[in-house]
Amino acid sequence: MLDEIKSQVILILGNCVWQTKSKLYLILDFINGGHLFYHLYRQGIFSEDQARVYTAEIVAAVSHLHNSGIVHRDLKPENILMDADGHVMLTDFGLAKEIDESSRSNSMCGTTEYMAPEILLSKGHNKDADWWSVGILLYEMLTGQPPFTHSNRKKLQERIINERVKLLPRLSSDAHSLLKGLLQKDPLKRLGSGPRGGDEIKSHKWFRSVNWKKLETRELQPKFKPDVSGKDCTANFDKCWTAMPLDDSPAPTPTAGEHFLGYTYVPPNPWLSSS
């Protein structure tokens, strides 16, 4: 999976992975701008212009994953990081899965608030489930919370499956249109589910001001930049993360270790490749 998506600048990938007799290790880039969740919590809501840039970068990243045959399956603000220039990047591929166009996964996985109805109903899901999560993310960026909430998990699932999304009148008609398309409960009718995939979303009128080529090459500069004092700055992360102990995880049993044969990976160095 790392080999499939290693070249994409809007995804946080492993620089290398390796294993010892008892441990698996994955080395990731440190993105010092903090979680998108952290900045959303501090600002309360994002303007449509600010949310448009973040959503466009997320759509570009998810489209790249889908074109590589990969579904993320856990898109949420905690899994989106911001770099020092204000660009957002996807991380945490722990639930990602390779799925071809004709197959579906029946796993119940993800974070409930962002899970598509077809996952909760165990109907089988594919890449269309990611576009539902993108819709939830956009709704949360524009309103400050997901469209479906409840302290009881079962009742939360029932709301996601049965209730209609309430769209705030202060949002633009184009934002309403995009949210309705992404938060379509029937995955076959969901925006992005057709043969054009992510390109169908990119061509939506809410994104009419986005130059996708410049966005994907990082030529478009976000107006908001996090306050970063240096490469090792952790000021944009909540203390609940930075105060976590660095304990090594328990060693797996020998039987479990058999599932990770061939885990070691080092990305090819373009400077050392033969001509």
**Residues carrying an active site annotation:** 74
Angle at 200 between CA 197 and CA 206, to 5 degrees: 140
Integer-rounded Cα radius of gyration of the chain: 19
Q: Specify whether the CB–CB gap between 34 and 135 falls below 8 A.
A: no
Whole-angstrom Cα distance, residue 215 to residue 229?
25
- Give the residues across from 125 on adjacent strands: 105
Phi and psi at residue 267, in whole multiples of 5°?
-65, 145
Q: Output b/e per residue, 117-136; b: 16+ Cβ within 10 A.
A: bbbbeeeebbbbbbbbbbbb
**CA 148 and chain centroid, separation:** 19
Whole-angstrom Cα distance, residue 177 to residue 161?
20
DSSP assignment, residue 112? Answer: G
Q: Specify whether the CB–CB gap between 206 and 177 falls below 8 A.
A: yes
- List Cβ neighbours of 97 (8 Å cut-off, separation of 6 or more): 70, 71, 73, 105, 107
